[in-house]
Amino acid sequence: MKAVLVTGASGGIGEALCAGFHGAGWRVIATDFRKSKPSLADAYIDAGLETLATDDGALAAFKRQVQAALNGAKLAALVNNAAVQLLGRAESVSAKDWERTMRINLSAPFRLVQTFLSDLEAENGVVVNVGSVHAQATKPGFVSYATSKAAIHGLTRALAVDLGPRLRVVCLAPAAVATPMLLAGFADNAEAMADLAKMHPIGRLAQPAEIAEAAVAIADKPFLFSTGSTFWLDGGILSRLHDPL
């Protein structure tokens, strides 16, 4: 049986990723720091990515936990989904928030690829990095997040070239997704939610399951020739010229 390791598994997209891979017959190993196991994960490991990005001992211990959780399955996919979004304009972003963003959103995914490279390579595996439309087009207050996502898109390309036939590395980049967290943020402002949906030419937000279904497909056929690629699930928003006049 093939296994997948999903980071940020307790969030809206993370839960959907676990459900999607589980439904496709994968053994799902989920990790997050929220101590809340997704309902369709076969195993859950409580881990903080900021620690894994900087602590070799913690990373080695995490690898042992993942290997034990495989329970005979073979690790064939790593989905780097976890991220933090710490907002702030350029003049006000603290060094702490900047460094935390880069450790979680960029350094941890890279370190996880290093850590599980041999396992993934042995199974002709794949890394799916979850990027964002913010890597291409952003807005005020997102300087840390947008920079980290632009970097994860760049990391995807660099790893694909560096690792060549050893391991496929792809990026999945959504626009706004109707996660429970996003919906809660608009609970008292239905008009703003409608406006956000209309900003996407497709006329709605993405559903978490759509992101998950794309990740499952990219991890296997018919995308086995794809590496270094970014798959945009943007609802057309990156094609739109917004003119408020």
* Catalytic-labelled residue, pool 145, 208, 216, 231: 145
pTM of the model: 0.95
Question: Of all residues in the chain, what percent carry a pLDDT higher than 90?
Answer: 85
Annotated catalytic, 44? no
In a domain, 8, yes or no: yes
pLDDT in tens, 168-207: 999 999 999 988 878 887 888 888 888 898 889 999 999 9
Residue 240 lies in a domain: no
pLDDT in tens, 142-154: 999 999 999 999 9
Domains held by the chain: number: 1
Residues of the chain under the 70 pLDDT cut: 243-245
Two tokens at 74? Answer: 């073979």
Question: What's the confidence (pLDDT) of residue 243?
Answer: 67
For residue 163, what are the CA distances in angstroms to 132, 159, 169?
23, 6, 9
What pLDDT is stored for residue 94 in this prediction? 97
CATH classification of the domain holding 10: 3.40.50.720
Residue 147 lies in a domain: yes
Residue 156 confidence (pLDDT): 98
Which residues constitute the domain of residue 6? 2-179+208-232
Look at residue 55 and tell me if it is in a domain: yes
Spatial CA neighbour of 100 closest among 54, 152, 59:
54
- Position of tokens 């703003």? 192
